[in-house]
């Protein structure tokens, strides 16, 4: 009769141990969710907006690059943009480095 009691006790302890393991993983899951909603998701949204911005660029737009160059777009391809930064001075830059459109002054 005691053997049955010991056997039942082990099953209850195993179930309790499995529940404790799940509870110990809960903080990691919550931390993962926090990272997703506070860091990963907003960054993906910004990347999507920047991609749409780059696709909307056209010849004649005045833009600013990440390096601080300001100029008017005189040519545009898939990966490069030619900026006219002064009369007859043109610079070829990577399209991804353009960060903003200049506002009318």
For the entire predicted model, the pTM comes to 0.69
Q: Are strands 80-86 and 70-76 parallel, antiparallel or unpaired?
A: antiparallel
- Total length of the chain: 105
Instruction: State the fold for domain 58-105.
Output: SH3 type barrels. (2.30.30)
Confidence of residue 19 (pLDDT cuts 50, 70, 90): confident
pLDDT surpasses 80 at 14: no
């Amino acid at each position: 009769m005691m053997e049955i009691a010991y056997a039942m006790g082990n099953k209850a302890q195993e179930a309790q141990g499995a529940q404790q393991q799940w509870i110990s993983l809960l903080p990691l899951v919550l931390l993962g969710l926090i990272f997703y909603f506070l860091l990963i998701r907003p960054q993906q949204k910004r990347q999507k907006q920047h991609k749409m911005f780059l696709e909307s660029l056209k010849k004649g737009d005045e833009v600013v690059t990440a390096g601080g160059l300001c100029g008017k777009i005189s040519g545009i391809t898939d990966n490069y943009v030619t900026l006219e930064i002064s009369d007859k001075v043109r610079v070829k830059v990577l399209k991804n480095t353009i960060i903003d459109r200049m506002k009318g002054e």
